[in-house]
Structure 1
Amino acid sequence: MFLTCLSTFGLLRAAEPLPFSSELTTVLSDRYPHGVEDLKLLEEQVQLVAAQAVPATVEVEIGRSIGSGVIISKEGLVLTAAHVIGRPGRRATLVLADGRRLKGRTLGAHHWMDAGMVQITDPPGDLPFAPLAPEEAVEIGQWVVATGQPGGILDDRSPPVRLGRVLAADDQWICTDCTLVGGDSGGPLFNMRGEVMAIHMSIGPEVVHNFHVPVTEIRPVWEKMLQGEVWGGEVAERDHDGNWAVLGLAGRTINERTVVTQVFGGFPAEAAGVLPGDQIVAVDGQAIASILQLTETISRKSPGDTIHLELMRNAHVMELDVMLSSIGEPLPGSFDPSSSEAQPESREQP
């Protein structure tokens, strides 16, 4: 479910958990709303959560890559995904919902967990931020709210707000049916008190299965990330001068169809004319049935290779020759072939 918030939310600044009435507590604990009054209570609470969530949700720009994040302190500490920041000491720009652009530096990252930090270098006095959720159990069916900046900042759109429920969870991940697309990586997942309970870590190959790393999992390594330490996975361990081939798009698998959800500016897919909504049918004559298969196919190529891309658009087949470029960090919202995120079956079947 999508809910679009007005830009006036950007004028609000809040960092306190939202209260629950006894009536709302009952609605949230039921399996589903039982009538119009229940729906009204749920809607009112979602609006309050959105008013707290949207101002604290930021776009994270690092080089040519764009992801999402959330400000969690008045001092300007931002939580995001490890694959968004890559490594410490990189220049970052944080774009607020009200359009302000703040400078920052990347801190540490845990790549196995897919959690990272950015520090705003000169935080303003009116900086919005969101509270962190306490140590508490995540319940199956629990209502949650996701925000992010998919596709970057748009003049007529504040960070989209999506309502969903927890489908599954363990100590290391939460799976929800909140819809996520390319660019949402690193954005926050809120509980119904308006507290940050997790960070988007994996856009699943199916629209109703997306994964988030819980704040409770991040807390034990908090100080290590503040100190700029990076660990976990080949991204952290390999030589950062190394590059791999990149097509420059994000997508998802829908009914065994590979559908493009985002095309990144300045990369080969955009130059060749690929558009969001296109279905990737084949690469070099090899049928493509999933976004994971597409990622694995491109990962076997080298920068400078030309691929023959067959796609479907509006029921018409198109053929494009695309020369791959190189990149040193995975693009937000796309699978990193060197990490466990390229093994979605381990997360889709908890």
Structure 2
Amino acid sequence: MAILDMASTMSNKRQRVEPPTQYQHGLPFGYPQTLSQQPQHFQQFQQHQAPAIEINVTNCTRTPEETGWVVNSVHKLDETTLRKLVILSALSHQDMYIALWNELQQIEYARTMRQQEELQAQQEQLAKENAQTIDFRSNVNQVDYVINERWSSLSGSKQYDKVGDAAELVNDEIAEIVGSVAPHSNSTTKINAILALCDIGSIVAAGGDCIGAEVRKQVGYDEELVNALWTIVETMSAADKMVMTAEDIQLLEAFDKERKGYCVFDGFDEVLEHFKKAIEDPSSVQSDDDDDYGDIDEQALLNKSDAIEGTASQPITL
């Protein structure tokens, strides 16, 4: 019986080997411990602020079969399970915690660098646009061509059929001028835009034949051009308006007189008056209107309100 027991003990029968996931304390990183235990030195890394930490992974040799099993198993896991495993590993092993920290630092660094590159590109583009001067002559010439040349050879009835297209093309040129001007554009470009819009208005007002007459009714009675002028004005600073010369004002006055003769573009006289005031007294016209009060003294409004209420303005306590 003793011999049989010894033979049984010394049997060469292969023992069952558990898969690697059972050896939670024997992963190729960290120190021997279970996933429910927190590493002894874990606290010292919680407030770590260094951009990168060198990782000294615990030496642990894996056979090719074990490595292949791990790789194949990870590829089969869904995203939620992978996230859980990463969290557990980072909480249970110092090396994994530091690796996670370093990876996040690299992601943040890449994001910051990308934002800086985008900002630099935007600044370079703004500087380029600011240095560029646009005269808008091509837009004016296109309007003149559409109204006075493009369909001039057609009969009156056929020209009438093209009125809608002509009016739309004129408004497209107006919109293109407005879209080409921004607050960072240089002063000359802004003034050129104002003068170009006036030139377009003059062409529309004096347009001949059937197309000219009908476009004058559609575009001249519309607010599109005057609104475009005010949009340009809103981009101009007091310094921009001071660049406007007496000759420029004369051109605006000439257009104002012409458009009144055709009874079109109502409201342009207010645009003209705005520029005259800006040149005569820059302080009387604020281009950077912060609110709907325009040029009204806000402090005067507050004082008047206080007098009506019979009390000084006080902070509201909630």
**TM bracket, shorter-chain basis:** under 0.3
Q: In terms of Rg, which structure is larger? A: 2
Normalising by the residue count of structure 1, what TM-score does the alignment of the two structures yield?
0.22
Q: Structure 1 or 2: larger helix share?
A: 2
**Structure with bigger RCO (C-alpha 8 Å, 6+ apart):** 1
Q: Structure 1 or 2: larger strand share?
A: 1
Normalising by the residue count of structure 2, what TM-score does the alignment of the two structures yield?
0.24
